[in-house]
Amino acid sequence: MQDLLQTYQYTRNQTKALCKPLKTEDYTPQSAEFASPPKWHLAHTTWFFEEMILITYFKNYHVFDETYSFLFNSYYNSIGERIERKNRGLITRPSIEKIYDYRTHVDKHITKLLELNTSKEIIDLTILGINHEQQHQELLITDLKHTFSCNPIYPKFSKTNYLTSKNKTTGWIDIPEGIYHVGYEGAGFCFDNELGKHRVFLEPFKISNALVTNAEYIEFINDKGYQQAKYWLDDAWHWVNQNKIKNPLYWKLIDGDWYQYTLSGLQPVNPDGILTHISYYEASAFAFWAGYRLPTEFEWEIASKQLDWGAVWEWTNSAYLPYPNFKIATGAVGEYNGKFMVNLMVLKGASTATAKNHSRNTYRNFFSPNTQWQFSGIRLAK
Amino acid sequence: MQDLLQTYQYTRNQTKALCKPLKTEDYTPQSAEFASPPKWHLAHTTWFFEEMILITYFKNYHVFDETYSFLFNSYYNSIGERIERKNRGLITRPSIEKIYDYRTHVDKHITKLLELNTSKEIIDLTILGINHEQQHQELLITDLKHTFSCNPIYPKFSKTNYLTSKNKTTGWIDIPEGIYHVGYEGAGFCFDNELGKHRVFLEPFKISNALVTNAEYIEFINDKGYQQAKYWLDDAWHWVNQNKIKNPLYWKLIDGDWYQYTLSGLQPVNPDGILTHISYYEASAFAFWAGYRLPTEFEWEIASKQLDWGAVWEWTNSAYLPYPNFKIATGAVGEYNGKFMVNLMVLKGASTATAKNHSRNTYRNFFSPNTQWQFSGIRLAK
Amino acid sequence: MQDLLQTYQYTRNQTKALCKPLKTEDYTPQSAEFASPPKWHLAHTTWFFEEMILITYFKNYHVFDETYSFLFNSYYNSIGERIERKNRGLITRPSIEKIYDYRTHVDKHITKLLELNTSKEIIDLTILGINHEQQHQELLITDLKHTFSCNPIYPKFSKTNYLTSKNKTTGWIDIPEGIYHVGYEGAGFCFDNELGKHRVFLEPFKISNALVTNAEYIEFINDKGYQQAKYWLDDAWHWVNQNKIKNPLYWKLIDGDWYQYTLSGLQPVNPDGILTHISYYEASAFAFWAGYRLPTEFEWEIASKQLDWGAVWEWTNSAYLPYPNFKIATGAVGEYNGKFMVNLMVLKGASTATAKNHSRNTYRNFFSPNTQWQFSGIRLAK
Amino acid sequence: MQDLLQTYQYTRNQTKALCKPLKTEDYTPQSAEFASPPKWHLAHTTWFFEEMILITYFKNYHVFDETYSFLFNSYYNSIGERIERKNRGLITRPSIEKIYDYRTHVDKHITKLLELNTSKEIIDLTILGINHEQQHQELLITDLKHTFSCNPIYPKFSKTNYLTSKNKTTGWIDIPEGIYHVGYEGAGFCFDNELGKHRVFLEPFKISNALVTNAEYIEFINDKGYQQAKYWLDDAWHWVNQNKIKNPLYWKLIDGDWYQYTLSGLQPVNPDGILTHISYYEASAFAFWAGYRLPTEFEWEIASKQLDWGAVWEWTNSAYLPYPNFKIATGAVGEYNGKFMVNLMVLKGASTATAKNHSRNTYRNFFSPNTQWQFSGIRLAK
């Protein structure tokens, strides 16, 4: 219990620490419907604890502000109406000061609750809330990068640029055919979409030790990769043409040299660096051009014990669909993962922006195949 | 060889037979980007034989009209520029008479070729062309239904309404766990996306003998199925709300009774009839509401020997992705299937509009999860 | 009365004569929301006589088909629901044969009515219907040209290409300052928007005898007219850039030479020919580039007695707004003109596609400033 | 000269005074493409002085920051590339502190310049810059109101709600027919679009002393004004239906009573209060319903000496078009007004948000007919 409280406090402080370099002006605007403002992340994660735990389990709890559920609910239909996603950047009030007060208020009550009450529901929901907050820590970074990238003066946010300078290993790993167990089983935390350990049959395959580098991807660009339909899925080809995509997100060609916007400002693209900010569409086209393919999520999971990972989220060739025994939890928590199981692709691994101890080899991250603003990259298979 | 020629001729005549009830005015317009006009289907299937076979294999062949490749190429980037998909309905010229001349011209040459030449390439491409034409026969019917349905006077096109009046069997089939073989292997024709027979492990499951009926679906509607977010995937819920979907395509509520537009005109919905014209989104919501789920494509394929099928295409819970050893053919034919392997769901079975002998239990039909205009229905699993 | 009957019959026959070169396939499709199919024009003009005259004034008249009011009402809200404008091209049934029967039926009854009845209401409405049909004769030609132009094989529709080969006169006309009378007054027919002869004060101005030619406009193009913001109104500049406009509608640059699609097929642009198919935005930019301006509708009207006109509709710098004593008629006829008096610009004159005896110097034609598909051109003033 | 300097300083301070109640968070977000953030207004007006005056006339002037021209140019194509209008709300950096430094820097230099230099160009441009800043003072208020109105907690910004509680006079003013002079002539400042005093002929008319009140407009609403096509222009009717407009902007019906969001928070609608935040479309529909019409800009100007005005901007029935002798100035200043002369309607008068001494009876304000977010109202004529 004391451990849980410490983890709670550590995680909550970590979120605030991430916001240290922000100016007040940075907290509110929203640069795209898919991205949320820092203020919103700070408030929403707090609301999650208030809504899922304090309102039900803290006797005589008074909600900090009745309007916050409307403002900071993300997508829980069962909890009620909420502000349109695209309008999150217009909440100039409450001020950021108020939101920090909100965090303090909720932290105080959660702390009290954890000191007194040891019911399994509260423990489980607190652990869920912590993992939820860790997910938003990563989103806070990726969303911020997107907002700053829209500013033509390329602000420098932090000392770290969140990029990985090179691969640690090379070569291919051989995995023989067989029945394998996938999915989570154990005493620790996992999300509901990982549950239901089950068997899959895998044909033999090879998977690369190294992630695709910037230099390798520049070869693809120079070989007119973005101009030739034959490398692309049909939807991908429309996406490339409609959006005039010619390179990974944040890359700019300046006088013949590639630069990229990073959270440390505009920097030259390092040839040895691990490629990131590419969509599934680009990952798939690159793999086809290179004569390989992407691994499935199960291949990745089985190979993962031998892989070094944590540099970028790795696109797999698996659609995000329910495991055989997937169950949707009752209540609002049931909306956490299950309702997104269509039209998305699975990513495995973790990125430099992922919170420590947050990911697992059974972890299933999922995004739309056109997503570029996450720290996403490519590992090849054959 | 004689057999192949007969099948060729039978199939080509069958396409014309389907168009018998059409007036000249019906051949040209296009009601939606996803649907094509009859004239276009008649010409495109002919172009396929000309482009893939005659130009390469018929010595000194003169193309019927140089402009047709631009007008009647569907989606083959490797062959060149083509008319925008949404503009297919503006090709008032060439007249339909000319298109029938085009068919005669190509038929004459293919017949000659098949009478003389027995190379494997030509035989394989002819068989592909025949299967291609059969696919367009079904599309011709579904597209026509869509166009007619946009006409407020509800034209009657044919005597058959293409609906199935009831299930032949009921109850559940039990399939035990195990390693199963899926995919096509054999001497007959199949599409490239079925190839590479391979092993999958299936957990034990049950699958329904009967398809969902109209009466069952009306229960879902009456239980406010379309008004409650909890039954729907998140993308599905947006789709329902943005498009104000309240029922299967072609259904109308008139004075409290359900009617549906059919190719025999507007008719009352038969409660025992097999439900059709629903999207994957609706299939998934219905299954969730009913306390079941949809089968995966592999579950369906393994159970299929025990199933009666052919009434409607059945949505599975599998995304359309490549099989482990999927290979993309070189040349234009390689664009047939592979490039669509993202964002689509697999349907298994066949419908009342499918050409005879066209489908197989390894057949993988695929459409976007919001597709309603195909003859698509629901089989439940658990 | 006999005269009116003759004019009626002449006009009705004229519409049919225009359709002579059409194939059945040409009657139905619609290439843009602003354009209507020939079948629709044929039916709508007929419906106008049925709805406005026969239903009210012909005793025991039976409407030809109850569904036609839904199908062929254009924009009369007071008459009831109607098919969405963008779906006019999907009315494959009724067939064109049926529509010709409809015309015969209505003609027979109108003829009877005119032979018997001489009430002022009927006479006035018949004259309105004739003028209405004449307007649709012009639209039939311009809409058809648009549809054909979308067909990459550039069909030839008629012997006449509807273009004017050169100006008859040159030089400037001087008009002194003064109070002038504008608007229609007299015994003949005019539209309600011309009524209310009234006084305006005009400052002195000059107006050109000649219309702008293709050669003059090519100079503007060659001087990078379409690439320089300074010549364009702000809305115009957005329009040019969003739609990538680089030339008048139907023009194509082929190997350095200008061609244009005409109803006689693709033809070289004649340098001396009168420029047409340009929007108000282009007219205004050209005038600014040339150091002149467009005349106002009143300047044009006052100068018109000295002008040769009839080649193209001429954009004026006047917004389409009500005259001081404009009155909206009661009933459906009141929707004819008045409700369009915002966001449109006035054109004066007539074009080669305008029906004979249809226009007047008080006539106010009106279109959106981005309209190109009418036979519209430029006369300069200063 | 000393006077001009004082006016300059007064105006610049006035802008800052308006921003007093703002929190730092309020300065950056943008709620709609047509509205700009406070930070942007503060910087843009400053950039105007820097760009139009200091760069040219202040010897050895160093621009404060090279990136600001890209960030804070509004629409001057001749000055160069600039940030897309819709992205003005993403400029979190420079911080608002920096922008206040920018203002101080520019103020210091303009002050020096005015103390030393007396050239006519500088004086004229300074006066233009002051008037420009006054225009942005009004926009700052209207844009802020829009942003705050999007926040479901309805922030209170100021003590004043910027509404006018009632009319001072009633009855009609009679104006006889005649030739009148309109447009500006004199020694004071006016915008280029007012120049060229010229003659117009007006037919006799009456114009109302009183502006339309909330109670009168509620009558229109209660009479199903928003539900009946017959009162509306065609474009207006589409606008009403597409945007589901049912009342003036900022009005809400709560339990049968009308409330409106004001800069002092949500308040009941005062029946006697002057109606505001309505579009030209609504003004025109109301006038038609009431049996009257809107005045033209010239009628208004001639009657203005007898009118009390300053409560709201008053929609006229005149399109915003050039006066007979309108000349576009050379250079960037030429883009100030002229390029907007299409698709907009003229408003006359001034509003409670207009800077003191800013308006004149020859002043031509102009907005798109669907504009609601300005303080706009209705005066009737007949």
Measured between CA atoms, the residue of chain B closest to residue C149 is B90
* B34 domain-assigned: yes
Q: Are C212 and C380 in contact (CB under 8 A)?
A: yes
- Taking residues D122-136, what's their average pLDDT? 97
Judge if A117 and A219 occupy the same domain. Answer: no
Judge if C202 and C254 occupy the same domain. Answer: yes
pTM (2 d.p.): 0.95
Enumerate the residues of chain D whose CB falls inside 8 A of the CB of residue C317. Answer: 321-322
Q: Is A33 left (phi over 0), alpha (psi -120 to 50) or beta?
A: alpha
* A162 domain-assigned: no
B contact residues 267-286, partner A, Cβ 8 Å cutoff: 280-281, 284
Q: For residue D28, give the nearest of A29, A93, A153 by CB distance.
A: A29
A33 touches chain D (CB under 8 A): no
Of D137, D127, D117, D118, which is closest to residue D49 (Cα–Cα)?
A: D127
**Residue pLDDT, tens place only, A193-209:** 999 899 999 999 999 99
Contacts of D313 (CB under 8 A, 6+ apart): D347, D348, D349, D350, D351, D365, D374, D375, D376, D377
Q: What is the residue whose two structure tokens read 């809107």?
A: D294
pLDDT score of D78: 85
Share of chain C above pLDDT 70, in %: 100
Size of interface B-C (CB pairs under 8 A): 84
Q: How far apart are the C-alpha atoms of C110 and A339, rounded to whole Å?
A: 63
A84 touches chain D (CB under 8 A): no
Judge if A109 and A217 occupy the same domain. Answer: no
Task: Tell me the pairing of strands D265-268 and D257-262.
Answer: antiparallel
- Taking residues C205-215, what's their average pLDDT? 98
- Taking residues C245-251, what's their average pLDDT? 98
Element (H, E) at D198: strand D198-202
Number of H helices, E strands in chain D: 10, 11
Say yes or no to pLDDT of A329 above 90. no
Q: For residue D152, give the nearest of A27, A70, A96 by CB distance.
A: A70
Judge if C114 and C204 occupy the same domain. Answer: no
D contact residues 298-337, partner C, Cβ 8 Å cutoff: 317-319, 321-322, 324-325
Q: The tokens of D11 are what?
A: 């105006």
Select from B117, B149, B181 the last residue of a domain.
B149
**Residue pLDDT, tens place only, A10-27:** 999 999 999 999 999 999
The C-alpha angle with vertex B138 and arms to B137 and B144, in degrees rounded to 5, equals 90
Q: For residue B343, give the nearest of A78, A200, A235 by CB distance.
A: A235
Enumerate the residues of chain D whose CB falls inside 8 A of the CB of residue C322. Answer: 293, 317
Say yes or no to pLDDT of A77 above 90. no
Cβ–Cβ below 8 Å for C92 and B26: yes
Q: Are C377 and C275 in contact (CB under 8 A)?
A: yes
> For residue C84, what are the β-bridge partners?
none
* D157 domain-assigned: no
**Residue C333 pLDDT class (50, 70, 90 cuts):** confident
- Taking residues D123-133, what's their average pLDDT? 97
**Residue B188 pLDDT class (50, 70, 90 cuts):** very high
pLDDT score of C1: 66
Say yes or no to pLDDT of A292 above 80. yes
pLDDT score of B71: 93
pLDDT score of D148: 97
CATH code, domain with D133: 1.20.120
Judge if C222 and C348 occupy the same domain. Answer: yes
**Burial per residue of A260-274, b for 16 or more beta-carbon CB atoms within 10 angstroms, e otherwise:** bbbbeeeeebbeebb
* A239 domain-assigned: yes
Measured between CA atoms, the residue of chain C closest to residue D367 is C343
pLDDT score of A208: 98
Judge if C221 and C343 occupy the same domain. Answer: yes
A partners (3+ CB pairs within 8 A) are B, D
Q: For residue C317, give the nearest of D199, D321, D369 by CB distance.
A: D321
The answer to ipTM > 0.85 is yes
Enumerate the residues of chain B whose CB falls inside 8 A of the CB of residue C30. Answer: 29
Mean pLDDT for chain D overall? 96
Judge if B236 and B339 occupy the same domain. Answer: yes
Cβ–Cβ below 8 Å for B29 and C83: no
Judge if B278 and B246 occupy the same domain. Answer: yes
pLDDT score of A199: 96
Cβ–Cβ below 8 Å for A201 and B201: yes
**Residue pLDDT, tens place only, D326-368:** 988 888 888 889 999 999 999 999 999 999 999 999 999 999 9
Identify the residue among D317, D320, D339, D382 best suited for mutation to test binding to C, counting C beta carbons within 10 A and taking the highest. D339
Judge if C101 and C177 occupy the same domain. Answer: no
Q: The tokens of A228 are what?
A: 């030739």
Judge if A128 and A195 occupy the same domain. Answer: no
Q: Are A164 and A352 in contact (CB under 8 A)?
A: yes
Of C68, C58, C188, which is closest to residue C130 (Cα–Cα)?
A: C188
Q: The tokens of A268 are what?
A: 């030259």
Residue D126 lies in domain: 2-149
Enumerate the residues of chain D whose CB falls inside 8 A of the CB of residue C77. Answer: 229-230, 237
**Residue C332 pLDDT class (50, 70, 90 cuts):** confident
Say yes or no to pLDDT of C117 above 80. no
Q: Is the dihedral of CA C244, C245, C251, C257 positive or negative?
A: negative
Query: What are the C-alpha distances in Å from C271 to residues A184, A310, B311, C201, D80?
Result: 77, 68, 64, 38, 35
Q: Are A295 and A379 in contact (CB under 8 A)?
A: yes
Query: Residue type for A371, please?
Result: T
**Residue pLDDT, tens place only, C36-79:** 999 999 999 999 999 999 999 999 999 999 999 999 998 888 88
Q: How far apart are the C-alpha atoms of D132 and D41, rounded to whole Å?
A: 11
**Residue pLDDT, tens place only, C5-31:** 999 999 999 999 999 999 999 999 999
pLDDT score of A356: 93
Contacts of B77 (CB under 8 A, 6+ apart): A229, A230, A237, B335
CATH code, domain with B346: 3.90.1580.10
Quick one: DSSP state of residue D186? S
Cβ–Cβ below 8 Å for A237 and B77: yes
pLDDT score of D116: 86
**Residue D1 pLDDT class (50, 70, 90 cuts):** low
Mean pLDDT for chain B overall? 95
pLDDT score of C156: 94
Q: For residue B28, give the nearest of C28, C93, C148 by CB distance.
A: C28
Size of interface A-D (CB pairs under 8 A): 84
* B161 domain-assigned: no
Contacts of D168 (CB under 8 A, 6+ apart): D308
Judge if A227 and A304 occupy the same domain. Answer: yes
Q: What is the residue whose two structure tokens read 């913001």?
A: C229
Q: For residue D233, give the nearest of C179, C235, C339 by CB distance.
A: C339
* D160 domain-assigned: no
Judge if A77 and A17 occupy the same domain. Answer: yes
* A199 domain-assigned: yes
Q: How far apart are the C-alpha atoms of A122 and A58, rounded to whole Å?
A: 10
- Taking residues C201-209, what's their average pLDDT? 97
Enumerate the residues of chain C whose CB falls inside 8 A of the CB of residue B87. Answer: 150
* D166 domain-assigned: no
C77 touches chain B (CB under 8 A): no
Cβ–Cβ below 8 Å for A92 and D153: no
Enumerate the residues of chain C whose CB falls inside 8 A of the CB of residue B36. Answer: none
The C-alpha angle with vertex B68 and arms to B62 and B74, in degrees rounded to 5, equals 125
Q: For residue D25, give the nearest of A92, A151, A153 by CB distance.
A: A92
Give one DSSP letter per residue of D59-116, joined into a string: TTPPPS-TTHHHHH--S-GGG-----GGGGGG---S-HHHHHHHHHHHHHHHHHHHHH
Q: How far apart are the C-alpha atoms of B143 and B35, rounded to whole Å?
A: 5
Count of structural domains, chain C? 2
pLDDT score of C205: 97
Measured between CA atoms, the residue of chain C closest to residue B70 is C152
Cβ–Cβ below 8 Å for D29 and A67: no
Tell me the nearest-neighbour CA distance from A248 into chain B, angstroms.
Answer: 20
